[in-house]
Amino acid sequence: MKTEDRYLKFVLWSDDDNCYVGYCPDLFPWGGVCHGATEEETYAQLCKLVHEEIEELRQARKEIPVPATRAMREAVVV
């Protein structure tokens, strides 16, 4: 598994921006870091940004953040 695969990445539609916005909270905690017209385009951009960020941190010999954010699942009441 590649390091970047360990990070939660997700894409949401933004009514305010009228486009899809990509997020990776563990690497970019300030919010959305890319946008696009389609989910697929935005996710591809997001994956590239995550990869580039990890490579830049490695090259600078900086600590790579521990992936901590996990997707939540809705609780099912039985």
Q: Quickly list H helices, the chain.
A: 39-59
- Cβ neighbours of 52 (radius 10 Å): 11
Handedness of CA 31, 34, 35, 41 (dihedral sign): negative
CA Rg, the chain, in Å? 14
Q: What are phi and psi of 42, to 5 degrees?
A: -70, -40
Any domain includes 38: yes
pLDDT per position as a tens digit, 3-55: 999 999 999 999 999 999 999 999 999 999 999 999 999 999 999 999 999 99
The pTM of this model reads 0.86
Any domain includes 64: no
Number of domains in the chain: 1
pLDDT per position as a tens digit, 47-76: 999 999 999 999 999 999 999 887 766 555
Any domain includes 65: no
Say if residues 37 and 22 touch (Cβ distance below 8 Å). Answer: no
Say if residues 23 and 33 touch (Cβ distance below 8 Å). Answer: yes
Domain range spanning residue 50?
A: 3-59
